[in-house]
Amino acid sequence: MKLYYSPGACSLATNIVLHEGGLAASFVKVDLKTKRTESGEDFLAINPKGYVPALVLDNGELLTENVAILQYLASLVPRLLPQEGMAKWRGIESLAFVSTELHKAYKPLFTPSASAEQKQKAKELVADRLALLDERLGKTEFVVGNDFSVVDAYLFVMLTWAQHHGVAVPASLARYAAKLKVRPSIQAALAREGLNSAA
Ligand SMILES: N[C@@H](CCC(=O)N[C@@H](CS)C(=O)NCC(=O)O)C(=O)O
């Protein structure tokens, strides 16, 4: 597989899961402003959506969207997301929440033209979403019960963003992030993106 990524972007979740699952992959850095890869290729010709993560599968097909890529990788390494019963639906529910309610809430913070008021509102929305997850992580070790899943990889990235944008991370989530950060897969993924001291 080949992952198109940008350091510290949401594609870091795919990077973490590739390491966690021991899946072989190559990595291509993308400049999201110029839409060029590190070797100067036109990223829009590779992924017309223009954003990362973009994963080239072993059959040559391109897969995009965090929720699709993370579930695809979990299909290769089933221990990385519950596959049966109610736990399966809870996993998908959590993945959707992180993607559509938390990840998207950050958007104004990455939009240079957003006003100070829009940015402040975004921080408040992110804090509200984090508070809901904090309640959950006061009760279970990981987002989906007591085993690490692809949802944890995604949420870890969202928590690095909270720190970067000065959004307070509540206590249970802060403990959870500290525990995740020393996980070998996360250390390896951060190193792969040149981020060890930054996250
Ligand atoms: N819907 C996509 C959104 C991915 C996304 O927001 N990627 C960001 C980095 S975290 C990006 O590449 N932004 C650059 C751009 O949209 O031009 C997904 O969930 O995978």
Given the DSSP bridges, would you call strands 36-37 and 26-31 parallel, antiparallel or unpaired? antiparallel
Q: Which of the listed residues 3, 4, 10, 63 should we mutate to test ligand 1's pocket, taking the one with most ligand atoms within 8 A of CB?
A: 10
Sign of the CA dihedral running 112, 115, 116, 118 = negative
pLDDT value, residue 174: 97
User: What pLDDT is recorded for position 3?
Assistant: 98
Run of H or E including 151: helix 150-164
SS3 of residue 123 by DSSP: helix
End-to-end CA distance of the chain: 25
Around ligand 1, the residues with Cβ closer than 6 Å are 9-10, 32, 50-53, 65-66, 99
Classified as helix, coil or strand, 8 is coil
pTM over 0.95: yes
* List of the chain residues with pLDDT < 70: 197-199
Length of the chain measured in residues: 199
Q: How many whole angstroms separate alpha carbon 179 and alpha carbon 177?
A: 5
For residue 18, which of 178, 199, 188, 197 has the smallest C-alpha distance? Answer: 188
| pLDDT value, residue 32 | 97
Instruction: Provide the β-strand partners of residue 62.
Output: 56
pLDDT at residue 198 in the model: 44
Q: What is the pLDDT of residue 196?
A: 78
Give the pLDDT score at 197: 57
Q: Tell me how far apart the alpha carbons of residues 174 and 168 are, in angstroms, rounded to a whole number.
A: 9
Q: Which of 49, 51, 66 to mutate to test the pocket of ligand 1 (most atoms within 8 A of CB)?
A: 51
What is d(CA 126, CA 154) in angstroms, rounded to the nearest whole number?
Answer: 15
State which ligand 1 atom lies nearest to the alpha carbon of 32: 14
